[in-house]
Amino acid sequence: MYGFIKGTVDFIDNAFGTLLIDCGGVGYVVNASQNLIQNSKLGDSIKVITHMTVREDDISLYGFVDASEKQMFLKLLSVSGVGAKSALGIVSQISYHDLALQIVQRDVHALTKVKGVGKKTAERIILELRDKFDLTLKEQGSPITQAQNATPRSLFTEAYQGLLALGFRQQEATAMLDGVSGDSAEMMITMALRKRH
């Protein structure tokens, strides 16, 4: 098992999402996340966090920009019906924090916006990973957990969705609702907007 590989970027194949990395004269083909590809340039010295999958007819390396991206990939890989290619595709489109938020809030609709994730897959991801992400967020003292503890989940979710509809990014909306509570989603959105200014 390879935990990481260190070498020089010899070739970048955007069409197939792979990097060819020269490690002491041996070329390793790495199926790379989009974040990793975007942060790689030909001739660069690079250290890639990796995971190796072994099947009867295939041995493949998957590469990530950091440890949290790999952790997310492995959690997705543990979900029944989610293969390595699908997990890598999800990792390439959404951050660990945003995925955790959507899973903890059981937001099937938001997850299905990720390319390649249908309703049934989104439901399986939420069902099988919710407890794992919920535990992770509580251990980290996440603003998501803090805000939900202070406010009924339905109001928090409604206010969060309202901020997204106003054009705020997911991380911005979460930060704006940190510590905000109220009797209605409208009140929470108003307070969150005031807090921002």
Residue range 78-118, pLDDT digits in tens: 999 999 999 999 999 988 878 888 888 888 998 999 888 99
Residue 58 has pLDDT above 80, yes or no: yes
pTM: 0.68
Average pLDDT over residues 50-59: 92
More confident residue, 90 or 180: 90
Please give the pLDDT value at position 168.
78
CATH of domain 4-65: 2.40.50.140
Nearest of 104, 179, 102, 101 to residue 147 by alpha carbon: 179
Note the pLDDT tens digit of each residue in 136-175. Answer: 545 444 544 444 444 455 677 778 777 877 777 777 877 8
Nearest of 39, 96, 85, 38 to residue 62 by alpha carbon: 85
Average pLDDT over residues 61-70: 92
CATH of domain 67-140: 1.10.150.20
CATH of domain 141-197: 1.10.8
Please give the pLDDT value at position 149.
47
Average pLDDT over residues 73-77: 94
| Coil/strand/helix, residue 128 | helix
Domain boundaries of the chain, sorted by first residue: 4-65, 67-140, 141-197
Please give the pLDDT value at position 46.
95
The whole-chain average pLDDT of the chain stands at 84
Please give the pLDDT value at position 151.
47
Nearest of 101, 39, 32, 105 to residue 73 by alpha carbon: 32
